Amino acid sequence: MSREGKEESGNIWKSRFASLILQLSHTMRGFKLKDRCKTTQVHAYNTNPFPISPTSSKLQYPTINSILSESPFLPYGLPKTHSFEPPLDLSLKSLDFVQSLADLYRKLQMTQDFNKSLLYLEQYALLYTLGDPKLLRRCLQSARQHAVDVHSKVVLSAWLRFERREDELVGSSAFDCIGRVLECPKTALLHGYDPKSVFDHCQSHPPPNQISDANNFLTSENDGGIIHFCIHNQEVNCIRGRIAALSAPLKSMLYGDFIESDKEKIDFTHIGISVDGMRAVDSFSRTRRFDSYPPNILLELLSFANRFCCEELKSASDSYLASLVSDIDEALILIDYALDERAPLLVASCLQLMLRELPGYLYNPKVLNTFCSSEARERLATVGQTSFLLYYFLSQVAIEDNMMSKVTLMLLERLKECATERWQKALAMHQLGCVLLQRKDYKEAQRYFEMAIEAGHVYSVVGVARAKFKQGQRFLAFELINGIISEYTPMGWMYQERSLYSLGKQKILDVNDATRLDPALSFPYKYRAIVMVEENQIEAAIAEINRIVGFKVSPDCLELRAWCFIALEDYQSAIRDIRALLTLEPNYVMFRGKMRADHLVELLSLHVQPWSPADCWMQLYDQWSSVDDIGSLAVIHQMLINDPGRSILRFRQSLLLLRLNCQKAAMRSLRLARNHSTSTYERLVYEGWILYDTGHREEALAKAEESISLQRSFEAFFLKAYALADATLDSESSSYVIQLLEEALKCPSDGLRKGQALNNLGSIYVDCNKLDLAADCYVRALEIKHTRAHQGLARVYHLKSDQKSAYEEMTKLIDKARNKASAYEKRSEYCDRDMANGDLSMASILDPLRTYPYRYRAAVLMDDQRETEAVEELTRAISFKPDLQMLNLRAAFHESMTDFSRALQDSEAALCLDPNHKDTLDLYSRTRLKNT
C-alpha cells in the first residue's frame, strides 16, 4: 500500500473509535470517575492522570468529552513505543538462579533448626520472582515452623493469613484461624519452640496466669507479719514477707535500712496505684495467680511491677493482658500503654491484631504512628518487637496497595534500618530505588540502586540505567546494560532492558532476542504489537498478543488486545476481553487511568446484540466445549452482572481461573461463592473447596460429609470424591470414589459439571483397569460437549494398544479446542518420534512454559548420545522456567556424564524448591558420595 493509502486507512480507523465515543458521550454526561485503583496496566507508570486544581486539593475527574480531545490517534491514546516500558522487578533477582538456590539449600542443611526461620524468609525473597503462590506460602510456613520467639511467630502467622485474605469471608474476624497451630493467633503468643506441632490442630488455651512454685522466698503467711499500705483514706493489708518476695527493691524497702522497714503502715498514695490495684498485688503475692481483673487494674499492676522491678508480676500481668486483647480497637488503645510499660507480650498481642487487619487498617493514623517513623521503630525495638521480618511484611502490603504512597516509602526506610545481612540490605535498597523511581525522584533512586549493587544485587543496574535514562542520559544507560550482557550469561530481561535505550533496527532485534531467551516475558509481545498498531497492522498486532495470552493471561495484555478489537470495530471481542479482565481485577481502570473498565463495557454493549439468560447459557456451553477459558470467563461475568448472587457461577469462575493459573483471583471467586451461598449445605461445599485448595484435605472431607448430611447434592458428592481421589487409591478406596461419583451424577446439575464428573469417573475406571467402563464414561461426557473427554478416551485406546485411534481422538481435541498446547503435548505420546517432535515443538510454541516437551527432547538427545545438546536443551528452558523436574533431569544427565559437581548443584537447587522430592534426594545422596 502506498504511503497515501496507509494514511487514508489510518485516518479512517482513527475516526471510527472517535465516532463511537462521540455517539455515546451524551449517555455519560456528568459522569465522574472513582479514584484510580492500583493495578498492572499497559501504562501503569502514568501515576497521576487527573490534574489537580490550583484552588483545590481534589482530583479533577475528566468527562468523556474532555477525554475525546486528547489524542488524534485514539480518543484515549493507544500506547506509544517511545514511552512504553516494562516495570522493574521489585524482588531479588539472581543472575545465576540455580546456583543461588543451591547455595541457600546448603545453608539450610548446615544450620540448626532453631536458626532456620530467617533463611526461609531469604528463600521467600529469592523465589518471589517466580510468582508461584504455593511455593511462596510454603516458604512462609517453613519460616513460621522454625520461628523461636513470639515476635516472629506473630508476624509470620499474620503474613500467612494475609496471603489467604480470609477477611473476604463473611462473618470472619481477624482473630480467626484455620484450625492449625500454623496461623493460630493465640498459639503465636506462647513461648517455646516445637516445630513438629506447627501443623497440628490448635486448641483453646486458658488464660496464662502463670502459677509459680509455692516455695518462692517464703513458705508461711505468718513470716514477717502484716504491713498496711495506705492509699488516700483506705488501707490494704498485705503480708510483709510476701510483698518483699516480689522483688529486690521491695525486699530492701521492707527489710533493709529504709525507714519503711520499721513501719507497720506505708503511704502508697502517690505511687500511682489504686486500692483495687494494690489488693490485686496482695492477691498475686499470696497465690502467684490472678483472678478476673479488668484491663485497667492489670495496667496498674504493670506500672507497679516496673516501678519496683517485680519481674514475675510484670511477666504475669503482661501475659494475662495479652490474652485478653481480641479487638482492633482495644489493640489501638493498649499499644501505647504497652510500649510505655515495656510489656513485650502485650505489645506483640496488639501488633498481631493490627497486622491481621491489614491491608484494611494500613492507613489508620494510630497504626501509622506505631510503625512508620524512625522513633516508632526504636520504640518497638525496646520491647523486642521490631525486626526486618516485620518491616518486610509491612512494606510488601504497602507496595501491593499503593507503591507510590508516602507510607510505602517510610516503611521501606524502616526496612533499610533493620537490614543486617547482605541480601536484606540489597532488597531494601532495591525496593527503595524502585519506589523513588516511580515517584520521579531519579537522583535518589539512582543512589539507592547503586547501594543495592554494592550489596551484591547486580540486577539493580537496571534501576541505575532507568534512572539515568529518565535524566536524559540514554547512551550511559545503554552502556550499563551492554556491559551486563558482555560480562554475564545473557538473559532475556537484559535484552529487554537494552531495547529501551537502543535505536532503529537494534531496538526490535533486542526485543526479539529477549523473547528467544525468555518467551515468558510479556513486554516484547506488547511492544511488537504496539509497533504493528502504529503501522496500521491491527490484525497482526492481535495475533502477536494472542501468542502470550495463549499461555499467560494478564489484565494489561487483555486491555491491549481489547483496544485493537475496538479499533477494528469488533466490539463483541473487545467486550469479551474486558469482561475477562474484570474477572481478574474487578476495579481495573483502562486508558491510562481515564475510564473504568466496567463503564467501557456499558458503552460498547450499546453496539452489540444483547444476550438473554438463555443466550448466555448457550454461549457458556459453546465456549466451555471449545476449551475457550477466556470466552467462558467473559460469559460468566455477564451472567453475574444480571444475577450477582449466583454462587454456582462464582464457583465456575474459580475453576476457569485455576485453569488459567490465576490462583489469587480463583480464591477470591471461591470465597465470593461461599459468601453468596443461600443455604448451609451449599456454603459448606464452598468452604470445603477453600480448605482443599489451601492444603487441608481432611477438613475439606469433613465439610463435604456435613453438607451431604444436610442435603444430597452433586457438588458435595463431587467434592468428597475429588478429595479422596487425591490420595493413592487401593481397590477398595477406588470403589468408594466410584460410588460417590455415581451418587453425584444422580443429583440435579447441569451438563457442564456432569461432564466433568463423567470425565473423573472415567479416570478412576482407567486406574482400576476397567477400560470399557471408562470408555463409556468418556463417550457420555462427549455427548454433553465435555470436549476434554477426548483425552481420556485417547488414553483408553492407547491402553488397548490402538495407537491409531488414540492419535485420532487427540486430533479431534486439537480441532475443537481453542487452547491446544496440552492437546499437542498429549498427542505426541501416540505417534512415532518424528511426529512426536513436531507435536512437542508446536506445544512449545503455543505454551513455552510447559516443561514436558523440553524434557522429552533432552531425553531423546541423551538416548542418541548427544549429551552436550541434551544438557543445553534443559539449560535453555531452566533459564526462564527453573522447574523441579527439569533440574532433577539435568542433575541425572550430569551424573551420567560424571560431572558430579554440577549434578550436586542441580539436585541442591531442586531440593530448595521441594526438599521432600524422593528421586532428587536419592540422586543428591549418590552425588555427594561421588563428589567427595
In the predicted structure, residue 929 carries a pLDDT above the cut 80: yes
Asked if pLDDT for residue 214 goes beyond 70, the answer is no
Measured CA to CA in angstroms, residue 382 lies from 129, 436, 458 at distances of 34, 30, 35
pLDDT higher than threshold 50 for residue 55: no
853 has pLDDT over 80? yes
- Structural contact between residues 679 and 605, judged by C-beta atoms closer than 8 angstroms: no
761-816 pLDDT tens trace: 999 999 999 999 999 999 999 999 999 999 999 999 999 999 999 999 999 999 99
Least reliable range by pLDDT among 69-73, 383-387, 659-663: 69-73
Q: 209: pLDDT confidence band, cut at 50, 70 and 90?
A: low
The pairing of strands 265-267 and 589-590 is: unpaired
pLDDT in tens, 88-117: 999 999 999 999 999 999 999 999 998 999
Separation between Cα atoms, residue 301 and residue 281, nearest integer Å: 7
Grid cell locating 285: 503475692
Query: With helix as H, strand as E and coil as C, how does 792-804 read?
Result: HHHHHHHHCCCHH
Identify which has the larger pLDDT, 397 or 211.
Answer: 397
Tell me what the mean pLDDT of segment 855-869 comes to.
95
Contact at 8 Å (CB) between 819 and 789? no
pLDDT at residue 206 greater than cutoff 70: no
Q: What is the pLDDT of residue 223?
A: 60
Helix (H, G, I), strand (E, B) or coil at 384: coil
pLDDT tens digit sequence for 254-312? 888 787 788 889 999 988 899 999 999 999 999 888 878 888 999 999 999 999 999 99
Output the CA–CA distances (angstroms, integers) from residue 248 to 219, 244, 261, in the order listed: 18, 7, 14
Q: Give pLDDT tens digits for 419-451.
A: 999 999 999 999 999 999 999 999 999 999 999
Question: What is the structure's pLDDT at 29?
Answer: 35
Residue 18 confidence (pLDDT) above 50: no
Residue 384 CB-density burial (10 A; 0-12 exposed, 13-18 middle, 19+ buried):
middle
Whether 250 contacts 243, CB under 8 Å: yes
Q: What is the mean pLDDT of residues 635-639?
A: 96
| Buried residues in 202-216 as b, exposed as e (16+ CB within 10 A) | beeeeebbbeeeeee
Instruction: Label residue 166 by pLDDT band (50, 70, 90).
Output: low
Q: How far apart are CA 474 and CA 498, in angstroms?
A: 10
pLDDT at 515 over 60: yes
Backbone angles phi, psi at 131, to 5 degrees: 70, 30
Instruction: Determine the pLDDT at residue 593.
Output: 77
> What's the mean per-residue pLDDT of the chain?
87
Q: What is the 3-state secondary structure (H, E, C) of 834-846?
A: HHHHHHHHHHHHH
Q: Mind listing the pLDDT tens digit for each residue in 519-578? A: 999 999 999 999 999 898 999 999 999 999 999 999 999 999 999 998 888 999 999 999
Which pLDDT score, from 0 to 100, does residue 14 have?
42
Given this model, what pLDDT does residue 162 score? 92
pTM of the full predicted structure?
A: 0.87
Assess whether pLDDT exceeds 50 at residue 215: no
The lowest-confidence range among 53-57, 118-122, 524-528, 898-902 is 53-57
Q: Which of 853, 869, 849 is nearest to 861 (CA)?
A: 869
When pLDDT is cut at 50, 70 and 90, the band that residue 137 belongs to is very high
Instruction: Report the percent of the chain where pLDDT is more than 70.
Output: 89
Which pLDDT value is given to residue 309? 94
Long-range Cβ pairs for the range 238-241 (8 Å, 24+): 238/278, 238/281, 238/282, 238/285, 239/282, 239/285, 239/286, 241/217
Range with the largest mean pLDDT of 262-266, 633-637, 729-733: 633-637
DSSP 440-508: T-HHHHHHHHHHHHHTT-GGGHHHHHHHHHHTT-HHHHHHHHHHHHHHS---HHHHHHHHTT--THHHH
- Report pLDDT for 377: 94
Whether the predicted pLDDT of 219 surpasses 90: no
Our measurement of the distance from residue 739's CA atom to the centroid of its chain's CA atoms, rounded to an integer in Å, reads: 37
Q: Which of 48-52, 159-163, 318-322, 494-498 has the highest mean pLDDT?
A: 494-498
- The confidence score (pLDDT) of residue 126 equals 97
* Residue 167 pLDDT grade (very low, low, confident, very high; cuts 50, 70, 90): low
Q: At what angle do helices 150-164 and 344-356 cross, to 10 degrees?
A: 10
For the stretch 640-698, pLDDT in tens is 998 888 899 999 999 999 999 999 899 999 999 999 999 999 999 999 999 898 888 99
Residue 817 is classified by DSSP as -
pLDDT class of 168 with cuts at 50, 70, 90: low
User: Is pLDDT larger for residue 21 or for residue 757?
Assistant: 757
How far apart (Å, rounded) are the C-alpha atoms in residues 264 and 799? 96
Per-residue pLDDT band for 852 (boundaries 50, 70, 90) equals very high
